[in-house]
Structures are given as C-alpha cells and as structure tokens.
Amino acid sequence: MTTNAAPPGEVLWEEFIPGGCHWSGVVRRGVALRLTDVEGGTNGAMLIFNHEERFERYNMPDTLKSQHTAVLHKGHVLETDMGRVIASIVEDTAGWHDTVCGVMDDATLAARYGERTYATHRNDMTRSGKEGFLKELTRLGLGRRDLHANVNWFAKVVADAGGGLHFDAAHRQPGQFVDLRFDMHALVVLSTCPHPLDPAPAWAPKPLKLTAWRCGLAPADDPCRNFRPENARAFLNTERYFAQ
Amino acid sequence: MLEESTLDPSRATVDEIVPAGAPWMKTIRKGQIFRILDLEGNQAVDTLFYSAADREERYSAVDTIQRNGNLYLTVGTKLYSTEGNVMLTIVADTCGRHDTLGGACAQESNTVRYALEKRHMHACRDNFMSAIAHDHTHGIEKRDITHNINFFMNVPVTPEGGLTFEDGISAPGKYAEMRAEMDVVCLVSNCPQLNNPCNAYNPTPVRMLVWDPS
C-alpha cells in the first residue's frame, strides 16, 4: 500500500491537529480512523475509553500479553480491561508503535525544551502530553484517576538486552499512516506533544491528520480477528457485549 | 542488579505472611523500608501503590519506565507516580529483575488468553476488587486500579518488540526491598494464576516485612 492511499470508504470527516496540541472525540463502533503523520516526526499519544462505560478503557498489559508483543502494528487489536476489543489496527504503514513510554508532563517538557507560556508565546506555547490529556479528560467529566498507559502512535522505541530504551527517530516518515477500526463506541483522547524519549533538541512538534470513514464491523475472516486465537476470543467478548 | 540488605527481620515492625492467592493492603510511611520476600520461589506479587494523602496520585508504570529509561525494575529503580514524584526507591534486590508490563491477571483477560471457560478461576484483579471493596479508609475504586508491578516476574522484551513470559529467575528466599519516599498505601495480589509459568504453576505464600527508619 502506498503512503497516500485513499481511505477505503466514504469519508465522514477530517481534522488536522497541529503539533503540540490535544484533542478528544467519540468514534462509533464500525467507524475507522486514519492517523496520518503528515510531515514525518509526529507523535500520536492516545487514550481510549468505552464511551458507554468510561471506567472501561484500553488496557496496555492485557493488550500486550494476550498478543505476546510489546509494540503494536497491523493485525493487532487494542483490548480493554474487560477483555473486549475496542479497536483494531487494520492498516499500518509505520509498523511499530510504542505502548510503554507514556507522555511528558509539564516539568519534563520545561526541563528539556524550556518554558514557553501563553504570556510570552501566545498559541506557540508549549503544552505537555499529560496536561493535554488532563484537559481533555476533565472536560469530559474524567480526570487524574483516568490516566493510564497510552499508545504513542508512530514512535519506535527499542529495548536492549538490559531493558534500556532507545528511540529510533529515523523510523518516522512523512505520509505514514495507521488505520484503526473501532469495534466499540469509543472516547478517544489524543495529544500531539513530542514523545518523551524523542531526542530532538528543539521544540518542533509535528501535526497529525485524522480521517474518519464508515468501515463496518469485523467480518468472520477479518485479519485482526484471526491474528491469534486470543483475538478471536476478545472479539467474541465484544460481540456478546453488543448482542441484542 | 543484585544487592543484599543488612536489615534484621527480627527487628521488623511488620512481619506478615500473605497466603497463596490472597490480597494484602498496608500503609507504609515515608522512610520505612518495605521488603517482599518470595518464600518458595517464582511467585508473582502484583503490587500497586497509592499516595496515602491522595488516592488520585498513584504508581505509574509508564512514568517509571520513561523516567528510568528502562523496562525492568531493580536496585536503584525509582518508582514514580502519575504526578512524576518518586514514591519508593528499590534499595535491595536479590532477584535482579522485576516486571511492570505484564499487568494483573483478571477473569476477563483469562477468557481472552486461555478460554472463555477459564472465567471462574481466581485472578489478581478479583483480589484487588475484594481488597478495595472492604477498605473504607482510602476510597480506592476500580477506576484507580492501574498497571501494576509484578515482583519476581520475568517478562523480557526482545529487540524485535516481542513480549515473552519466561520461567522466573526468582528462587526461595529472594526478595526486593524498597524505601518509601512518601506515605503510600500498598495494594497486593499474591497472584493465583495457574495458566502460565508466572508462578511456576504453583502459587505460594510470600512474606511482607516493614522496618522503621534506623
């Protein structure tokens, strides 16, 4: 697949999130969201909640251990703490997405990039990933208690034998995208603040484009459903939840 | 990294046995030293920490990984909170590596990982639910249950990004010891998982010791 392939469905909406900003929105079951790294070098820090029962959320350890992976790529699903698939990676031109490094907070950001406040820089002020998450969560009636491990879309962080972490800045390329099919009604929270281990010396956060389209539900021969037997069982849990 | 402690168990102010598959909850004060001892070997101890002053500040696996620049926990590792504060520091470790990626087993995750029929096997998150349901002091609810530490569990990540559950590197008598840097509530599930090697297919008791600052 080329990096500029059109989404395979009727586009519902498109939105552009500037670098260093934050966003939240509801994405319904059967809708897909494409995240595109327009310029190369973006970071899409994402939390996902069940929109109907918000104390159910994407769960990093459950997702990783059931698929025997520490990173996410095409074929993987994102599971909630209730054993259900909330989203599936149906297409992916990046091939490696970080799950374990979290986001920067204000103090870490200021120590690394210096402080740019609204008073001095207006809307070019710095906004940390954690602060972005907190603003979106609080706006939605959630808050600090709902902070947990996020996915960092487009970030490749490799572990050495001793567990030391190394950020692969060259991995990100302009035009890379990842397509998420939402298998439950989801509340999506995003920050485009740089990855906490990104060694870039200067503050230059990159934008992210969101494209939503109607993709329908996972068919029986869906590659994500059949990626592993664990995934098939997680889909069964999701389908029982929506059974009526 | 291996480092032994010089503390004398006979001088501990807390010395309790957590039976196989049981929960445990205790407040540990700033400056106290907390030891988790693997009595019979290869026992995963699923552990969460909350600020005693503010349940909304709690152990954060991702902040701990990010700020230590490392996936594994051992001597010198600082355990960070969601607010970026150091909650505890690991000061002794005779095992050498502890996990914070593997999370806690749950009835729901067991249905995914093993079989829908495994739902009714005892699981760590049931221990967490039980402990917080009966605790009326701290106000911890399901929403506050986050990604935990698995003391004595060996979950290596490969350079290709694979996650493997290996046989434990712990053994009878091995321990991890940490100094509390703030008042914390410790919530533990002594893991009852029987479906994978995290407990060597034989969940066993662990010993919890707390010393006052010397």
Q: What is the ipTM of this complex?
A: 0.97
- Are B108 and A230 a contacting pair at CB < 8 A? no
Select the residue of B111, B146, B157 nearest A233 (Cβ to Cβ). B111
In Å, what is the CA distance from B39 to each residue of A240, B75, B92, B178, B190?
Answer: 42, 20, 16, 18, 12
Q: Total structural domains in chain B? A: 1
Q: Is residue B125 part of a domain?
A: yes
pLDDT of residue A147: 97
- Using a CB-CB cut-off of 8 Å, the residues of chain A touching B67 are 108
CB contact under 8 A, A70 and B113: no
Q: Is the dihedral of CA A12, A13, A14, A17 positive or negative?
A: negative
- Residue A3 covered by a domain: no
Query: What six digits make up the tokens of B72?
Result: 């594994």
Which of A62, A145, A158 has the CB atom closest to B144's CB atom? A145
pLDDT digits (tens, 9 = 90+) for A9-63: 889 999 999 999 999 999 999 999 999 999 999 999 999 999 999 999 999 999 9
Can you give the pLDDT at residue A6?
82
User: Which residue does chain A place closest to B55, by CA atoms?
Assistant: A145
Identify whether A210 is part of a domain.
Answer: no
**Is some CB atom of chain B closer than 8 A to the CB atom of A102?**
yes
Task: Name the domain count of chain A.
Answer: 1
Q: What is the mean pLDDT of each run of 10 residues along chain A (244 residues)?
A: 70 97 98 98 98 97 97 98 98 98 98 95 96 98 97 98 96 97 98 97 97 97 98 98 96
In one-letter notation, the amino acid at residue B180 is A
Q: Which residues of A touch B66 (CB under 8 A)?
A: 101-102, 196-197
pLDDT score, position B199: 82
Nearest to B62 among A100, A160, A164 (CB): A100
Q: Which domain holds residue A135?
A: 11-204+219-242
Q: Which residues 157-196 of A are in CB contact (within 8 Å) with B?
A: 158-165, 196
Domain coverage including residue B34 = 18-211
Residue B123 within any structural domain of the chain: yes
Q: Which amino acid is at B95?
A: C
Q: Which chain B positions have a beta carbon within 8 Å of A108's beta carbon?
A: 67, 84
Residue B10 lies in a domain: no
What pLDDT does A1 receive? 45
Residues 6+ apart with CB under 8 A from B156: B163, B164, B166
Q: With an 8 Å Cβ cutoff, is A83 touching chain B? A: yes
Q: Global pTM? A: 0.97
pLDDT the model gives residue B197: 80
Contact A149 B147 (CB under 8 A): yes
What are residue A225's DSSP bridge partners? Answer: none
Q: Look at residue A231 and tell me if it is in a domain.
A: yes
What does the pLDDT profile of chain B (214 residues) look like in tens digits?
A: 899 999 999 999 999 999 999 999 999 999 999 999 999 999 999 999 999 999 999 999 999 999 999 999 999 999 999 999 999 999 999 999 999 999 999 999 999 999 999 999 999 999 999 999 999 899 999 999 999 999 999 999 999 999 987 777 899 999 999 999 999 999 999 999 999 887 888 999 999 999 999 8
Residues 6+ apart with CB under 8 A from B185: B25, B26, B27, B28, B49, B50, B51, B52, B55, B138, B140
Q: Please, what is the Cα angle at B165 between B160 and B168, to 5 degrees?
A: 125
Looking at residue B136, its pLDDT comes to: 85
In a domain, residue B140? The reply is yes
Residue B5 lies in a domain: no
d(CA A237, CA A232): 9
